[in-house]
Chains A and B, each alone.
Chain A
Amino acid sequence: MNQEASNSTSSLLEKDVVDNPDFVTVGTITADDAAMTCRNVDVHYGDKQAIYNVSVDIGRNEVIAMIGPSGCGKSTFLRCLNRMNDTIDICRVSGDIRLEGEDIYDRAMDIVLLRARVGMVFQKPNPFPKSVYDNVAYGVRLHGLTKTRAELDEVVEKSLKKAGLWNEVSDRLDKPGTGLSGGQQQRLCIARAIAISPEVILMDEPCSALDPIATAKIEELIDELREQYSIAIVTHSMQQAARVSQRTAYFHLGKLVEVGPTDDIFTKPTHGLTEGYITGRFG
């Protein structure tokens, strides 16, 4: 296929998705056992619409990867799931997002409780400028999850072990968390997130600032964490999506083009845009 032809095909396909107000996501949006359900989610930044009518489930004890070209709204969508977008004044979210059946945008939903139940790991490792111990213990203390110092110690140790960091930092728990290497910092952030035992963990490109070895460690970790948590991960790396996720969602210019089991998306994508992206023809 020559370059021009492929370009025109993809632009035709793009037109079909972008200009079609009635576009419906291809594939299966539901999960067998959903921890979170999102239906008809729209997000506006001021006058600009960033997310169009996205419906998808976050399955229990599975990893869903969100991929797509830059600016496609995958991070924006992820941040709707723990209402992180509330911090942006001009951002409006509409639609229905439920965590275990509870509407998280309902007035009755407490945002502090929501964020305790839906943890988040960010693109850039962002440990607090405190000790390793305090980084992990902060959320636990905040929510009063432990009564005694011994219990707290235990939670910190367990979380660091789960994050695969214990062996590296057990002798320097009182040293600043920001003194660790990039990969260690990111695992510290994961430990901080899992210390408060969330139900869902959101990861926004957790490996984009890390080298391949650190990335491999985190990916391994994500796979282990799946046994206990439901995970939604945004990534730029299709290989990473293929390695860590069970389901994959492909976003394009604010629309969810296709969702399906990761194996299907990467071997026999239904929509032409998805195929174009994963085969590297554009994006």
Chain B
Amino acid sequence: MSTSRQLVQKTLGKRYARERRFRWYGALSILVGILFLGFLLVTTVSNGYKAFVQTYVQIDVDLSAAQFGGEITPESIAAANFDGIIKDSLRNAFPEVSGRTDRRALYGLVSNGAQYDLREMLLEDPSLAGGVTPVWLLADDEVDVFMKGRIDRNEPEANRRLKDNAIGWIDQWVDEGRVEKRFNEPFFTNGDSREPEQAGIFGAIMGSFFTIAVCMLLAFPIGVAAAIYLQEFAPKNRITDIIEVNINNLAAVPSIIFGLLGLAIFLNAFGLPRSVPLVGGMVLSLMTLPTIIISSRAALAAVPPSIREAALGVGASPIQTVLHHVLPLAMPGMLTGSIIGLAQALGETAPLLVIGMVAFIVDVPTSPLDPGTALPVQIYLWSDSPERAFVERTSAAIMVLLMFLVAINGFIVLLRKKLERRW
């Protein structure tokens, strides 16, 4: 009769119960995580999906030659007063409207950017001019919000931005089939604007793109080189210990402090321009460096020492050993670290605020030296704006940012797969 067998058997039930319990804890945490993520996605998408369409109204615009000083040439088109033309057309559409306040409300139904769109349209196709032509124009954001059902017409008039008369005109247009929702192209091609219907994400996308490109071009080579030196070549002494501790500390420093550092060094000491993605990238690379160095060192440390010995044993110099054998094996791990750093940098707002990338910039940056803003900063800016139409744009911008993240992560995962050797 074996007593140890009995003793073991007695504990078995408890052990299995504990195992089951832990599995449940794990599953539960995953479930909670998924729920939160799902909640985030659902609210973002449900708030934001409508931003991808935009309301346009069709107006019969008087484009007779008289409006262009009698002769229709590119010069006369460029010089024409399209604001006046559109206002005239609106007055013609609702001749009964009189009085300054009512007229102003009527003019407000069309975006004040429509005049520029109209000029573009005519410059592209001068044949439109010469008579009264129905033209689709960008509607004002309040019209857009109303058409998307976010303004309740039963609300007392005083609480509405859109008054009863305006709703009446819109209803009339709707009846005549003069209101249409189209794909919101301006959102993807414009820079920021005070007018929600003209505000686009493209400026922020380009700003983020340049910022991240500068950040990666700086942080990845410097981080990998630092990791290689520290891991493979540096002597183990007090100084390298201190460096290591400090790198680990830097990884936990709040990002706003990196922003202040960038402000002090890059802007004040070096005199680099404010609000430019170049400086943004430099600041973010400071912030990303510790992450990349730490993960790269871990990746290097995970390369089996036997490979190093093999290379040294056939007479490879230390640098050759690292470049030919250790680095290729560590590269997938290094890229994983860089993904984390890059994702962090892409979502970072605070340091960019400090170096002025929060400025209101309408132009789309075309180089890292043009003033710009970044996606997370744009989200912050829009979320802070009072116009209702910015609510859905904020969510749409979040969706674009998430897409960006998914695209970048996907790309690096692919790259990793390619580099990973399974032999």
Which residues from chain A sit less than 8 Å from chain B, CB to CB? Answer: 82, 84, 87, 89, 112-116, 119-122, 124, 126-129, 138-139, 142-143, 176, 178-179, 189, 192-193, 196
A129-B304 Cα distance, complex, nearest whole Å: 11
Is B308 located at the chain interface by the 8 A CB criterion? yes
Which residue of chain B lies nearest to A127 when distances are taken between CB atoms in the complex? B310
Is B193 located at the chain interface by the 8 A CB criterion? no
CB-based contact B306/A179 at 8 Å: no
> Which of B235, B236, B320 has a CB less than 8 Å from the CB of A142?
B320
Which residue of chain A lies nearest to B324 when distances are taken between CB atoms in the complex? A138
| Contact residues in B for A84 (Cβ distance below 8 Å) | 309, 312-313
CB-based contact A89/B235 at 8 Å: yes
A84-B311 Cα distance, complex, nearest whole Å: 11
Is B10 located at the chain interface by the 8 A CB criterion? no
Q: Give, as a whole number of angstroms, the nearest-CB distance from B356 to chain A.
A: 47
Q: Give, as a whole number of angstroms, the nearest-CB distance from A114 to chain B.
A: 8
CB-based contact B315/A116 at 8 Å: yes
Q: Give, as a whole number of angstroms, the nearest-CB distance from B238 to chain A.
A: 13
Tell me which of B235, B306, B423 has the highest count of chain A C-beta atoms within 10 A of its own C-beta.
B423
A114-B368 Cα distance, complex, nearest whole Å: 50
CB-based contact B310/A189 at 8 Å: yes
CB-based contact A124/B236 at 8 Å: no
| Contact residues in B for A179 (Cβ distance below 8 Å) | 423
Query: Can you pick out 8 interface pairs between chain A and chain B where the beta carbons lie within 8 Å of each other?
Result: A115-B314, A116-B315, A122-B313, A126-B306, A128-B307, A129-B423, A139-B314, A196-B315
Which residue of chain B lies nearest to A176 when distances are taken between CB atoms in the complex? B423
A215-B423 Cα distance, complex, nearest whole Å: 24
Tell me which of B311, B312, B315, B325 has the highest count of chain A C-beta atoms within 10 A of its own C-beta.
B315
CB-based contact A122/B306 at 8 Å: yes
Which residue of chain B lies nearest to A117 when distances are taken between CB atoms in the complex? B315
A128 and B309 contact, Cβ closer than 8 Å, known pairs A115-B315, A143-B315: no
CB-based contact A122/B309 at 8 Å: yes
Is B5 located at the chain interface by the 8 A CB criterion? no
A126-B316 Cα distance, complex, nearest whole Å: 15
Which residue of chain A lies nearest to B311 when distances are taken between CB atoms in the complex? A128
Is B339 located at the chain interface by the 8 A CB criterion? no
A124-B305 Cα distance, complex, nearest whole Å: 11
A113 and B315 contact, Cβ closer than 8 Å, known pairs A122-B310, A126-B310: yes
CB-based contact B312/A115 at 8 Å: yes
CB-based contact A112/B315 at 8 Å: yes
Q: Is the interface of A mostly helix, strand, loop or mixed?
A: helix
Q: Give, as a whole number of angstroms, the nearest-CB distance from B107 to chain A.
A: 71
Is B421 located at the chain interface by the 8 A CB criterion? yes
A193-B310 Cα distance, complex, nearest whole Å: 9
Which residue of chain B lies nearest to A138 when distances are taken between CB atoms in the complex? B314
Contact with A along B219-251 (1 / 0, CB 8 A): 000000000000000011000000000000000
A116-B313 Cα distance, complex, nearest whole Å: 8
A210-B75 Cα distance, complex, nearest whole Å: 88
Q: Give, as a whole number of angstroms, the nearest-CB distance from A189 to chain B.
A: 7
| Contact residues in B for A115 (Cβ distance below 8 Å) | 312-315
Is B317 located at the chain interface by the 8 A CB criterion? yes
CB-based contact A139/B306 at 8 Å: no
Is B329 located at the chain interface by the 8 A CB criterion? yes
| Contact residues in A for B329 (Cβ distance below 8 Å) | 129
| Contact residues in A for B311 (Cβ distance below 8 Å) | 128, 138
Q: Give, as a whole number of angstroms, the nearest-CB distance from A68 to chain B.
A: 22
| Contact residues in B for A189 (Cβ distance below 8 Å) | 310
CB-based contact B421/A142 at 8 Å: no
A65-B172 Cα distance, complex, nearest whole Å: 103
A122-B313 Cα distance, complex, nearest whole Å: 9
Known: A115-B312, A122-B309, A192-B310. 14 other contacts (CB 8 A): A84-B312, A87-B312, A89-B236, A112-B316, A115-B314, A115-B315, A121-B313, A124-B306, A129-B421, A129-B423, A142-B315, A142-B320, A178-B423, A193-B314
CB-based contact A120/B313 at 8 Å: yes
| Contact residues in B for A114 (Cβ distance below 8 Å) | 315
| Contact residues in A for B324 (Cβ distance below 8 Å) | 138
A176-B315 Cα distance, complex, nearest whole Å: 21
Which residue of chain A lies nearest to B310 when distances are taken between CB atoms in the complex? A126
A111-B311 Cα distance, complex, nearest whole Å: 13
A190-B314 Cα distance, complex, nearest whole Å: 11
Q: Give, as a whole number of angstroms, the nearest-CB distance from A209 to chain B.
A: 11
The 7 closest A-B pairs by CB, nearest first: A139-B314, A126-B306, A176-B423, A115-B315, A116-B315, A120-B313, A126-B310
| Contact residues in A for B316 (Cβ distance below 8 Å) | 112, 138-139, 142
| Contact residues in B for A122 (Cβ distance below 8 Å) | 306, 309-310, 313
CB-based contact B306/A142 at 8 Å: no
Q: Give, as a whole number of angstroms, the nearest-CB distance from A83 to chain B.
A: 9
Q: Give, as a whole number of angstroms, the nearest-CB distance from B230 to chain A.
A: 13
A119-B236 Cα distance, complex, nearest whole Å: 28
Contact with A along B293-307 (1 / 0, CB 8 A): 000000000001011
A116-B311 Cα distance, complex, nearest whole Å: 11
Tell me which of B236, B308, B313, B421 has the highest count of chain A C-beta atoms within 10 A of its own C-beta.
B313
Q: Give, as a whole number of angstroms, the nearest-CB distance from B179 to chain A.
A: 65
Q: Give, as a whole number of angstroms, the nearest-CB distance from B253 to chain A.
A: 30
| Contact residues in B for A196 (Cβ distance below 8 Å) | 314-315
CB-based contact B310/A128 at 8 Å: yes
CB-based contact A193/B312 at 8 Å: no
> Which of B236, B317, B320, B325 has a CB less than 8 Å from the CB of A128?
B325
Q: Give, as a whole number of angstroms, the nearest-CB distance from A75 to chain B.
A: 12
Q: Give, as a whole number of angstroms, the nearest-CB distance from A205 to chain B.
A: 13
Q: Give, as a whole number of angstroms, the nearest-CB distance from B326 to chain A.
A: 11
> Which of A87, A143, A176 has a CB less than 8 Å from the CB of B308?
A87
